[in-house]
Amino acid sequence: MSRILVTGGAGFIGSHLIDRLLSEDHEVVAIHNFDPYYDPEIKRKNIALFQGHPNFRFIEGSILDRGLMDRIISDGVEYIFHEAAQAGVRVSVENPFKPHEINGTGMLCLLESAVKHRVKKLINASSSSVYGTVVYLPFDERHPNIPVSPYGATKVLAEHYVRVYHEIYGMKTISLRYFTVFGPRMRPDLAINIFTHKALKNEEIEIFGDGTKTRDFTFISNIIEGNMKVMHKGTGVYNIGSGKRCSIRELAEKIIEITDSRSKLIFKEPVKGDAMHTWADISKAKKELDYRVDVGLDEGLKKYVEWVIETDFS
């Protein structure tokens, strides 16, 4: 059993990580600041799932609070899963300073304390947004990083800080580049959640652009499995995705079919800073981590629709 810190623990991915870690008898400390980027009550419900568990402790606070991070990590933390971030490509275009501070300076605060207190390994949640402009597809880890949004740029910055601290101090670090994660408890502002709720109410589904943009949609259980794999193996950066891609239009059509909806598709102006395509080459993760995709897009969408019906429409 290890003592593990999960930053952003009340969020979508963080809460699923906590679930898995507690199921494997680890001691988990979680921190979250309940930023109002989306409804804090959603995140409070996530963290309430673990309250009362003997191996769980929650701290409300910010990773930018260097004193707080130092106190938490000094108390025997062995591993850090860093999920806290200011997400949102579109939001980052409107206000680039906030993601820079949280994703860049926040990472530095965490790394400083992690080095000081000899953390065994820090696992950084990165993003496919680091790739940005397509030079070739699918993206392997050697693909140039040409982000097309301030959010993507901050994730590149965070990755470099993680690498540099490993090289200078010898601390084990790793960055996992997530590809469009979805599943129960996902952020409400993401397309799959919006499309699902619209379809279940037979409302028009808005698509930004002509629907030909593609994404590598990755079900949450695959992301969690990737994280668990790297606790004790791997170094550098890895793509954690499904290894397949789907257009936004096709995604909407799949959701309409699964929900037996009468929703119609309407198309809006494309959004600035939104990448044209993402598609993960996961061969490195398969070879070095024995990473496998257990739940594909179709099965994942069915699981998600069932969860939404149970939680929001029952």
Model confidence at 308, in pLDDT bands (50, 70, 90)? very high
Q: Are 177 and 127 in contact (CB under 8 A)?
A: yes
User: Right CATH number for 3-183+218-242 from 3.40.50.180, 3.40.50.300, 3.90.1720.10, 3.40.50.720?
Assistant: 3.40.50.720
Q: Are 109 and 165 in contact (CB under 8 A)?
A: no
Those residues with Cβ within 8 angstroms of residue 250's Cβ, 6 or more apart along the chain or in another chain: 211
Length of the chain: 314
Known active-site residue 151: yes
Q: How far apart are CA 75 and CA 3, in angstroms?
A: 9
CA 229 remoteness from chain centre: 16
Distances (CA, A) of 134 to 138, 214, 222, 280: 9, 12, 24, 12
Catalytic residue among 79, 151, 178, 291: 151
Those residues with Cβ within 8 angstroms of residue 23's Cβ, 6 or more apart along the chain or in another chain: none
| Closest to 242 in 3D by CA, of 301, 307, 157, 160 | 301
Mean pLDDT along residues 155-175: 97
Those residues with Cβ within 8 angstroms of residue 153's Cβ, 6 or more apart along the chain or in another chain: 147
- pLDDT tens readout for residues 220-242: 999 999 999 999 999 999 999 99
Helices (H), 117-190: 150-169
pTM metric for this prediction: 0.96
Q: How far apart are CA 217 and CA 280, in angstroms?
A: 10
Phi, psi of 181 (to 5 degrees): -80, 140
Mean pLDDT along residues 24-39: 96
Q: How many CB atoms lie within 10 A of CB 156?
A: 21
Mean pLDDT along residues 117-131: 97
* 3-class secondary structure, 125: strand
| Closest to 160 in 3D by CA, of 104, 113, 106 | 104
Q: How far apart are CA 17 and CA 228, in angstroms?
A: 9
Average pLDDT, rounded, for the chain? 96
The answer to whether residue 250 scores a pLDDT higher than 70 is yes
Structure-token pair, residue 180? 């469009």
| Closest to 223 in 3D by CA, of 16, 5, 3, 82 | 16
Those residues with Cβ within 8 angstroms of residue 11's Cβ, 6 or more apart along the chain or in another chain: 32, 43, 46, 83, 84, 187
Phi, psi of 145 (to 5 degrees): -90, 105
- pLDDT tens readout for residues 185-206: 999 999 999 999 999 999 999 9
Mean pLDDT along residues 150-179: 97
Cα-trace Rg, the chain: 19
What is the per-residue pLDDT for 314?
A: 63
The answer to whether residue 163 scores a pLDDT higher than 70 is yes
